[in-house]
């Protein structure tokens, strides 16, 4: 099943996706204590919001062999060692935007890059859970674009990964899908730029949840991007990036220069 957050007539809702419409729900989506209502809205009438309201927004990088090789060519062999160690980071909830929202390129940034990724959505509080237990703490999966300000080289990647609008996630959450056999397709202005499959992850979704939870509690609605499968290239204002994961949906965001 697919669930979305959306706004209509000034009110925010969670809803179940039913073909080309959304049915609002009442109650707590993540606990399962909710009911479907009679309020139904056409998709073209609502504004989609980021699919959850996370306490934490995590990122995982260097999680596919092809992407590691791409980054080695750019940045040197230390990237290979970082991939082996598993080094997640906080992407910052302030960067989060929805499908359809605009990614804004700061005026001093020279290189803005896309990174199409699968996004984990946590469903239950998770602390020190084992890898085998991890699936029970995952609510579902969405599509993310881990936008990077590639020429920002600050400690902790605070501008590179956390700048406003650098965290598109959406369009919604899919709850019934195998996360480890999904194509990830990135297009810019309709032209395919990258394609990979989640079966090639170095650290799979369950390992990611387990590893982070050994130190930090994961909360319902928390988001974890899981790494880009291949190469990337600089984006320009005026271009439109689409990340498609068949079975989940298409995340679409235009790029604009800061005014």
Three-state DSSP string of the chain: CEEEEEEECCEEEEEEEECCEEEEEEEECCCCEEEEEEEEEEHHHCEEECCCCCCCEEECCCCCHHHHHHHHHHHCCHHHHHHHHCCCEECCHHHEECCCCCEEECCCCCCEECCEEEEEEECCCECCCCCCCHHHHEEEEEEEECCEECCCCCHHHHHHHHCCCCEEEEEEEECCCCCCCCEEEEEECCEEEEEEEHHHCCCCHHHHHHHHHCCCCECCCCEEECCCCCCCCECCCCCEEEEEECCCEEEEEEEEECC
Please tell me the predicted confidence (pLDDT) of residue 66: 86
1-48 CATH fold = SH3 type barrels. (2.30.30)
Beta-bridged to residue 40, according to DSSP, are 23
Please tell me the predicted confidence (pLDDT) of residue 117: 98
Domain limits, the chain:
1-48, 50-257
Please tell me the predicted confidence (pLDDT) of residue 70: 77
Per CATH, 1-48 and 50-257 having the same topology is answered: no
Q: Which residues of the chain have pLDDT under 70?
A: 72-84
Please tell me the predicted confidence (pLDDT) of residue 78: 67
50-257 CATH fold = Fumarylacetoacetate hydrolase; domain 2 (3.90.850)
Please tell me the predicted confidence (pLDDT) of residue 140: 98
């Amino acid at each position: 099943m697919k669930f979305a957050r959306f706004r209509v007539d000034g009110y925010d809702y969670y809803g179940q996706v039913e073909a080309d419409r959304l049915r609002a729900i009442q109650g707590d989506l993540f606990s399962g204590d909710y009911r479907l209502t009679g309020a139904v809205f056409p998709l073209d009438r609502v504004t989609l919001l980021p699919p959850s309201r996370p306490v934490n927004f995590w990122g995982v990088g260097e999680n596919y062999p092809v992407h590691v090789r791409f980054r080695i060519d750019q940045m040197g062999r230390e990237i290979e060692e970082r991939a082996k160690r598993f080094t997640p980071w906080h992407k910052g909830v302030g960067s989060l935007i929805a499908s359809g929202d605009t990614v804004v390129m700061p005026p001093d940034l020279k290189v803005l890059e896309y990174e199409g990724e699968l996004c984990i959505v946590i469903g239950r509080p998770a602390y020190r859970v084992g890898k085998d237990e991890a699936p029970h703490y995952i609510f579902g999966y969405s599509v993310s674009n881990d936008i990077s300000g590639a020429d920002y080289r600050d400690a902790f990647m605070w501008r590179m990964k956390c700048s406003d609008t650098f965290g598109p996630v959406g369009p919604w959450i899919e709850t019934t899908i195998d996360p480890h056999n999904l194509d990830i397709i990135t297009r810019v202005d309709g032209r395919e730029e990258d394609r990979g499959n989640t079966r090639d992850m170095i650290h799979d979704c369950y390992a990611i949840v387990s590893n982070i939870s050994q130190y930090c509690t994961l909360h319902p609605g928390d988001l974890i991007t899981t790494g880009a499968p291949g190469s990337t290239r600089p984006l320009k204002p005026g271009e439109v990036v689409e990340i498609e994961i068949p079975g989940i949906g298409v995340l679409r965001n235009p790029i604009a220069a800061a005014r």
